[in-house]
Structure 1
C-alpha cells in the first residue's frame, strides 16, 4: 500500500528532494544571519532586527504575484529565474559590507521566496492526481522539516555566525536546484498545467474579504500577533544567544524541526475533537510560554522544553489555522481567503524589528524582561481569537446551523 501511495511523478519527487536541499541550504545560513550581522559586522541589535524584518515584509506583499506570474509566464521559467536569483543573493551575502547591502539582499531573499513557493506548489499539483495530493504534500512537509533539522547542524559545522562560508554553500545548493528545474523544463515540456486551482488572488480582493468577514478579520489580527511571536526563533533568539550560544541555538532549531515531525499528527488528531479557534487560543498561550522560556539561557534543558512548548503552539496555530480558513471560506473564494491570510505574516516583520529594538533598549542581560514583553505581545492574540469564536458561534446559532468543522488534519497547511 505504501509503495503504491508513493508512486509520484518524477517531477514531484524532484520537487520533494529539491525542497529538502533548498531548505537545508536556507536553514544552514539564514537563521545565523542575526548573529553574523551583530557580532561579525558590528551592527546594533536594533539595526540587525530591522534588516531581518525586511525579508518578511517584502515576502508578505509580494506573495500575491508569485502564483499569477507562474500562471501567465509558466511554472518552469518563474522557478528557474527565482532560484538562480536566490543563489545570487546568497553569494551577495558573502561579499556584502554595508548596511544597505544587507537590506537589499534580505529584501530580495523574501521576494525570491514569495515568487518561488507558489509556483512550486502549483507545479506539484499539476503533476499529481487529486487522490495523491495529500500524500505528496505531506512528503513535501516532511522534507521541509528534515531540512530544517539538518541545516542548522551543517551550518554550525561550517562556522555559521563567524564566517560567510555557509552562505556560499547555500548558494551552490540553490544553483544546483535551479539547474535541475532547467533540465525538467525540456525533459517534461509537455506537462499540462492544471486549471482547476487557478484563482485570481489580489491584494484588493484580500482587503475586500477582510472588510466583510468579521470572523476572518479577528482571526487574521490574532494571527498577526502569533506570527510576530514565531519570528523570534529566527531573529531575536539568535541575537540573544550570540556566538557563545551557537551550539545551543543549533540544537534548539533542530528540536523545533524534530518536534514538528514527531508531534504534528498526534496533536492534529487530538484537536480534531475541538473547534479550530479553541486550538488557536491554546496555541497562542503555548507560543507565549515557549517564548518566555527562551530567557532561561543558563539552562539548555529548560530551553529545549521551552522550544517543544513553542513548537506545539506552532502546530496548533499554523496548521489548525489553515483548517479554519478552509472551513469558513466559501468554495469559490477559498484561494482569495488563503491569499488574504498571507497578510498575517506582516507580524513576522514587526516581530523581528521589535525583538531587536527590545534587546537594544534593555540589553542582553535582561532576557526575562525582553522575552516577557515578547510573550505578552504574542498572547495578545487570545482575545481576538476569542472574539472570532464568539462571532462564529453566534452566526451559526442564529441560523440554526451546525458549525462545519472538517477533519482535514494538516493537509491544508502544506
Structure 2
C-alpha cells in the first residue's frame, strides 16, 4: 500500500494523511466522551444521551450539506470548513460544563466530520483516473480503520493523564491539519462540465440508481449497526467484557488486511454478484451466532465473515456513487450518508428490541439470518439486472 501511496500526487497524499490523522483524533475522544460528560456534576445521564444523540445526527445528516457545498460551491473550501469548525468544538468540550455549550461543542464536532467527508471523497475521486478509483477509495478506508484502531490506545493514555489535555490535543491536531490543507490546490471543472444547478439536484433525487444505492446504504448500515450494538452486547453476556474489545479489534484487522483484494473483486463492472454475496456473508455471520451460541470460535468466525460483508458493501456502494453523476459526486455521498443515518437509527433500535424480545419464539440471530437470506435472494434476482448509470 505504501508503494501505491507514493505514486499519487502530493494533494492526494495530503488528503489521505488527513483521513488517517483525523480518525486517530476522532477515536482518541469517542470511547471516553460519554464517560467524561457523565462525570460532570451539572450533566445528568439523560443529558449525556441527548448531547451524543444530537452530535450523531449532526455527523450523519450534515453530510448532505457538505456534499451540496462541495458540488455547488467549492470542494477545497468545504474541506477546510469541515476541519475548521471541529477545532472550537474539541476545545470547548474540555473547558465548559454548561449543557447547552456542550451541545454546541459536540454538534460542531459532528457537523465538521459530516461536512468534510463527502468533500474529501469527491476530491480524491476527481483527482484520480477512473481505473484508480477503487484503489484510492480502498486506501482511504484502510487508513480510516488504522486511525480507528490507534485512536483509542493513544486516547486512553492521554485521558488517564488529563481529560482536558485529551480534548485540547485533538483540537490542536485539527488545527495542524487545517494549516496543512491550506496547501491543497483547487479543483477546476473540465470545460465540458457545467456547474450543477437546483434542477440537477432534483434529477439526482429521482435517479433510479441513486434511489437504489440509498436503499442499499440504509439496509447495509442497519445491518452494520449490529457489530456496534448487539454483537458486543452478546459477547459481554455470553463470554464476558474482555471479548468486547476483541470483536472490534478483529473487525478492524480484517478490514485493514483484506480491503484491497476484496475491493478489486467487488468493484469489477461485470460483477453483478457483489451485493447478493454480501448479504449471504451477513446471513452466514448471523447463522453462526444462532447455531453455536456459546462457542468462542463461532463468535470470532462470525466477526470475520461479517467484516468481509462490510468491506463488500462499503466499497461497492462508494464506487457506485461515483458513477451516478460525475458533477455531483459529493452530493451523492451526502445523500448516501443521510440514508445511512436513518439506517443506523433503525438498525440500533430494531437490534436492541429483538435482542431483548424474541418474536414467535425466534431470537435476534435467527430473525437476522432469515431476513438476510431473503435479501440475498431478492438482490440476486433484481440487482443483477440493473446497470450502473454513467453520467
Question: Are the equivalent residues in 1 in contact too, given 2:322–2:329 (CA < 8 A)?
Answer: yes
Q: CA deviation at 1:294?
A: 7.4
TM-superposition CA deviations, 1:175-204 (whole Å, max 9, x none):
22333432552xx47x342314886487x8
**Displacement after TM superposition at 1:16 (Å):** 2.2
Q: 2:45 aligns with which of 40, 43, 46?
A: 43
State the TM-score, normalized to the length of structure 1. Answer: 0.68
Conserved? CA contact 1:25–1:170, under 8 Å: no
Matched with 2:364 is 373
Equivalent-residue separation in structure 2 for 1:392 and 1:258 (angstroms): 30
CA separation of 1:382/1:175 partners in 2, compared to 1, >3 Å: closer, same or farther? farther
Alpha-carbon distance, 1:152 to partner: 3.0
The answer to whether the aligner puts 1:181 opposite 2:178 as a matched pair is: yes
Counterpart in 2 of 1:141? 141
Larger RCO (alpha carbons 8 Å, 6+ apart): 1
The answer to whether the 8 Å contact 2:205/2:211 transfers is: yes
The separation in 1 between residues aligned to 2:147 and 2:294, in whole angstroms, is 28
How far apart in 1 are the matches of 2:22 and 2:330?
26
**Unaligned regions of 5+ residues in structure 1, if any?**
396-402, 407-414
Partner of 1:109: 109
State the match for 1:258 in structure 2.
253
CA contact (8 A) 1:88 1:171 kept: no
Q: Is the 8 Å Cα contact of residues 80 and 181 (structure 1) preserved in structure 2?
A: yes
CA, structure 1 residues 224+32, in 2 after alignment: closer, same or farther (shift >3 Å)?
farther
- 1:258-290 per-residue CA deviation (whole Å, 9 max, x = no partner) reads 101222234345556897563323323433554
**1:17 matched to which residue of 2?**
17
- Structure 2: which 5+ runs fail to align? none
SS at match of 2:339: helix
- Residue 297 of structure 1: how far off its partner (Å): 9.6
Q: Does the C-alpha gap of structure 1 residues 270 and 393 become closer, same or farther in structure 2, counting only changes over 3 Å?
A: closer
Give me the whole-angstrom Cα distance separating, in 1, the residues matched to 2:35 and 2:294. Answer: 18
Match of residue 314 from structure 1: 310
Native 8 Å contact 1:24 1:151 kept in 2: yes
SS at match of 2:187: coil
Aligned to 2:215: 221
Q: Which moved more, 1:173-182 or 1:4-13?
A: 4-13
Equivalent residues, number: 383
Mapped to 2, the partners of 1:201 and 1:380 lie a distance apart of 40
The whole-number CA distance in structure 1 between the counterparts of 2:372 and 2:197 is 26
Q: 1:342 aligns with which of 337, 340, 349?
A: 337
